[in-house]
Structure 1
Amino acid sequence: MLLNQYPFLISYNPWWESGSSAFTQLPAFHRDVFEDLYSDVVRLPQMISVTGPRRVGKTTLLRQCIQRLIAEGDPGQAGRIAYFSLDDPALSLPHQDPDRFFNDLVADFASRAKAGPAYLLLDEIQKFPRWELYLKKFYDLHTSVRFIVSGSASAPIFRKSHESLLGRIKSFYVLPFSFRERFFFQRGEQDKAVSREFFEFGNRLRSSDNVAGILARLDETVVTFGDFTPLVEDYFYQGGFPEVWKLPDILAKQEYLYQNQVERVIFEDLLVAAEFRKPEMLRRFYLSLLTDPGRETNLTRLANDISIGRTTIEHYFPLLEATDLVWRLNKYTGGKSSAKAGNFKTYLVDLAVRNAVLKLSPKQLRDDPTMLGHYAENVVANHLRRWPGLVELAYFRERDDELDFIVDLGNARLGIEVKYRNELNLRELLKSAAIAKRLDCAGFVVVSKHAPDDALRQTLAEKIQLPLSLVQLADFMMLF
């Protein structure tokens, strides 16, 4: 009956007819978030949502969950799983009633749930008007269907709706691929053992309950694949959007990123929702933030530079953050007020978008050591955000004193300095270490371009009065 009314469901659910052979084109690689996501899909009573930037792999995660549910379920499980993308134009045809479709779909699978667990996986859920009211109704009625939904967090209307389901829904926020995820995605089966080793090492690092344990584990990180600099700088350029990597040339990659991560995000998701009358002002503001990733943002100075009022910028910035293109890092002040105090740094969620907008070639980026330093700091910031149990991340700047990151882990506070250079400067590192000590950090970490020289490591250890770790950037990113 359901398929007679809605025949377009068949193309979305090939496993109804072909079972496990429907997944032959699905990547074998699983994102780090997959195991936790799948576990919660199976065991939690709440609904599950998967959010994040456009084209980051949310749909692939849903299909991988379906694949495993069928593999681990009873013989009838494939018939009790439905996937559908709610941006399908079939729902807009004159003879279709989207509200009736939604109710019919739920009713049909609730009846199937008598034979075993039933799952509805609904993609682009934000395209369905009042979707949160429907989910809330079915959840509160204890409808025997498990809902897993995904949507673009860049749509402000989605975020507002999602907040109304607090307590009923658990959200997984999926970022672009980390350096480690990209590394093992590209290497495929050949390094499964190494991938597992790094994953378990990262878990041990994050579960260390004291600074000495954390720093000791950082120093244990040794990668045996040779010089990682080309891989790191390729990640700077290619970024973490998997669909971009297989495109044939630079122009195709740049066009894809600009259309999907700038035009569609800002000029569809954000501007339509916020009803801006002068969208070119938002574009100008965003482009100004691309110039120097990681720079300290002073709103008054920025307003003067781009000829937009400070009040307007204060209104725009939270909206721009909602697009998943940029995020802010607050200045450390030593108190709980730091989240709102003073200037802040602006980082890019994925640097490949900057390369696309500015039409940079890989050679142009490699030939700019200053910008490579900014990129290194930006990717460290993005990876630090993934540290489980992170209480607060901030930076410190006071006159000529600066420390790139202060990482508060609740039971430990670390000072981290990023130096992406061929040679490290002892005097600069000693100054940074002194700042970390003054700020009551219990340890100091230097993230460098190359594996640190043993002599420099020993000299630093003798001169500073803090537990110390020196780790090259590639090794550090492998942990997150």
Structure 2
Amino acid sequence: MNRFYLSLLVEHFKQDDQMAFLCGPRQVGKTTLAKQVGEALLPYTYLNWDSLPHREQILTHAFRPLPVLGGEKRTLLLDEIHKYRQWKSYLKGLYDTEKAHFRFLVTGSAKLNIFRRSEDSLMGRYFLYRIHPLSVAECVQESRSPGLLQAPKAISFDAFDALFQWGGFPEPFIKQSQTFHRRWQRLRQEQTLGELRDLTQIQQLAKVEVLAELLHHQAGQLVNYSQLAKKVRVAVNTIIGWTQALSQLYFCFFLKPWSKNLSRSLLKEPKCYLWDWSTLEDLGARCENFVASHLLKATQFWTDAGLGDYQLYFLRTKDQKEVDFLVTENKKPWFLVEVNQSHKTGLSPHLKNFQQALNAPHAFQVAFDLPFVAQDCFAETSPVIVPATTFLSQLV
């Protein structure tokens, strides 16, 4: 299966000289994707910092090609290079001296994600690309058409059910084994806690594990830091720091409430969702998290591709009127999304009210029990109930 990110990265190297930083959760397919980019842009060299022979080549620059006049550029894939303590200065010097001879693709997980939020000594030398688990569109679309949205395309019941049940991480999705899935999830949890210890110096891992379990059970709900602090028995600021660390390590992600031009809106409390929706037992929570993950993937893909500035929020007022999601385009409301297991609950009146208040072009109520319909959801400008299979196939 070719990921949508393949054409995005190949196009990057055809148009731009900057390094490409590919960050995302562990086991999401970064290394496989990097090697596919290398195959598309031959010749290429793959070096992994975790391999001692590769590490020696990295430190001695043994990968440099012979100085041949008119020689072609080589694609250099650097995997896990962020584990090298001086990786930023190393990449800066390497790029400045060798950019005429190489295309640089750097892959990593948490540390690349944390690094981009801090003071950036590599400013102007790279573009960031954020890779996500598999989605409906990637399962059904052979290639991604230019622009934001795809034409709707049907996904088989078995493929949709597998994605919903096993999650979008490639290996569990392909194997579809309950035994493997449980072992894989346990290993991922252990790796997350190990990275947390290594990157943040947090020592109270047992309490962080309790916090992670609490957040797991609150997926799709408002996060109250004070209540979490009481349950875990640490300070509120400690809880805030730990939740940020768990987010940077791709355990969960947080959405802020949209407050601009909305009276009586919430201003602080975020909502929490999980990167791996397959761990959620409650079907309603899993449906909402499934859509949240698809929307986050789409907004980050569109932004990283240079198509605009896309962000994901939720809508909620102090009198508890709520719509699950709002997607903005260049800081303006674009479309609203409410998620339901069944279309029989009827159209939420909040969709129309919020759409009028925000002047958003589209408002969708996504239902999981409706069959696929081969019609463009975004042709509708009034609130409308749409099948999850149709709507999600039009995203990324």
The normalised TM-score by structure 2 is 0.84
Q: CA deviation at 1:147?
A: 4.2
1:123 and 1:346, CA in 2 relative to 1: closer, same or farther beyond 3 A?
Answer: same
Q: CA deviation at 1:204?
A: 6.0
Secondary structure (helix, strand or coil) at the match of 1:54 reads coil
Larger displacement relative to structure 2 (374-383 or 141-150): 141-150
Residue 51 (structure 2) aligned to one of 88, 101, 104:
88
1:257 and 1:146, CA in 2 relative to 1: closer, same or farther beyond 3 A?
Answer: farther
Residue 468 (structure 1) aligned to one of 379, 383, 389:
383
Tell me which amino acid in the other structure corresponds to 1:448.
Answer: A
1:142 and 1:115, CA in 2 relative to 1: closer, same or farther beyond 3 A?
Answer: closer
- Identify the residue that residue 242 of structure 2 maps to in structure 1: 316
- State whether residues 121 and 149 of structure 1, in contact with CA within 8 Å, keep that contact through their aligned partners in structure 2: yes
Q: Which one has the bigger helix percentage?
A: 1
Q: CA deviation at 1:401?
A: 1.0
Deviations for 1:423-457, whole angstroms, at most 9, x for unmatched residues? 2324xx22432233234434321111233899xxx
Residue 243 (structure 1) aligned to one of 168, 171, 176:
171
1:205 and 1:327, CA in 2 relative to 1: closer, same or farther beyond 3 A?
Answer: same
- State whether residues 55 and 241 of structure 1, in contact with CA within 8 Å, keep that contact through their aligned partners in structure 2: yes
- State whether residues 327 and 346 of structure 1, in contact with CA within 8 Å, keep that contact through their aligned partners in structure 2: yes
Q: How many angstroms apart in 2 are the aligned matches of 1:381 and 1:309? A: 29
- Identify the residue that residue 32 of structure 1 maps to in structure 2: 4
Q: Does 1:164 align with 2:121?
A: yes
Aligned identity (percent) is 22
Q: How many angstroms apart in 1 are the aligned matches of 2:120 and 2:32? A: 24
Secondary structure (helix, strand or coil) at the match of 1:171 reads strand
Q: How many angstroms apart in 2 are the aligned matches of 1:171 and 1:439? A: 31
- Identify the residue that residue 115 of structure 1 maps to in structure 2: 71
- Identify the residue that residue 334 of structure 2 maps to in structure 1: 413
Aligned residue runs from structure 1 range 237-316, under 5 A:
237-247=165-175, 249-259=177-187, 261-267=188-194, 269-316=195-242
Secondary structure (helix, strand or coil) at the match of 2:3 reads coil
Aligned residue runs from structure 1 range 1-400, under 5 A:
29-70=1-42, 78=43, 81-90=44-53, 98=56, 101-106=58-63, 108-109=64-65, 111=67, 114-141=70-97, 143-155=99-111, 159=115, 163-181=120-138, 183-184=139-140, 195-196=142-143, 199-200=144-145, 203=147, 205=149, 221=152, 223=154, 228=157, 231-247=159-175, 249-259=177-187, 261-267=188-194, 269-334=195-260, 341-352=267-278, 354=279, 365=281, 371-385=282-296, 386-387=298-299, 388=302, 389-398=308-317, 399-400=319-320
Tell me which amino acid in the other structure corresponds to 2:91.
Answer: L
Tell me which amino acid in the other structure corresponds to 1:434.
Answer: N
1:91 and 1:203, CA in 2 relative to 1: closer, same or farther beyond 3 A?
Answer: closer
Q: How many angstroms apart in 2 are the aligned matches of 1:246 and 1:380? A: 21
- State whether residues 47 and 146 of structure 1, in contact with CA within 8 Å, keep that contact through their aligned partners in structure 2: no
Secondary structure (helix, strand or coil) at the match of 2:17 reads coil
Secondary structure (helix, strand or coil) at the match of 1:406 reads strand
Tell me which amino acid in the other structure corresponds to 2:192.
Answer: V
- Identify the residue that residue 351 of structure 2 maps to in structure 1: 432
Q: CA deviation at 1:170?
A: 1.5
- Identify the residue that residue 376 of structure 2 maps to in structure 1: none
Larger displacement relative to structure 2 (281-290 or 394-403): 394-403
Tell me which amino acid in the other structure corresponds to 1:473.
Answer: A
- State whether residues 266 and 316 of structure 2, in contact with CA within 8 Å, keep that contact through their aligned partners in structure 1: no
Q: CA deviation at 1:244?
A: 2.0
Unaligned runs of 5+ in 1: 1-28, 71-77, 93-97, 185-193, 207-216, 356-364, 366-370, 455-460
- State whether residues 84 and 123 of structure 1, in contact with CA within 8 Å, keep that contact through their aligned partners in structure 2: yes
Q: How many angstroms apart in 2 are the aligned matches of 1:405 and 1:395? A: 4
Tell me which amino acid in the other structure corresponds to 1:468.
Answer: P
Q: How many angstroms apart in 1 are the aligned matches of 2:184 and 2:14? A: 35
Kindly name which structure, 1 or 2, has the bigger radius of gyration based on alpha carbons.
1
- Identify the residue that residue 18 of structure 1 maps to in structure 2: none
Unaligned runs of 5+ in 2: 303-307, 374-379
1:420 and 1:340, CA in 2 relative to 1: closer, same or farther beyond 3 A?
Answer: closer
1:430 and 1:113, CA in 2 relative to 1: closer, same or farther beyond 3 A?
Answer: farther
Deviations for 1:177-209, whole angstroms, at most 9, x for unmatched residues? 11222x34xxxxxxxxx645xx43x83638xxx
Q: How many angstroms apart in 2 are the aligned matches of 1:119 and 1:339? A: 49
Q: How many angstroms apart in 2 are the aligned matches of 1:162 and 1:51? A: 18
1:306 and 1:42, CA in 2 relative to 1: closer, same or farther beyond 3 A?
Answer: same
Please, what is the CA RMSD of the aligned residues?
Answer: 3.2
Tell me which amino acid in the other structure corresponds to 1:48.
Answer: A
Tell me which amino acid in the other structure corresponds to 2:49.
Answer: L
Q: How many angstroms apart in 1 are the aligned matches of 2:287 and 2:108? A: 27
Secondary structure (helix, strand or coil) at the match of 1:234 reads helix
- Identify the residue that residue 446 of structure 1 maps to in structure 2: 365
Q: How many angstroms apart in 2 are the aligned matches of 1:273 and 1:120? A: 26
The normalised TM-score by structure 1 is 0.70
Q: CA deviation at 1:294?
A: 1.0
Tell me which amino acid in the other structure corresponds to 1:347.
Answer: Y
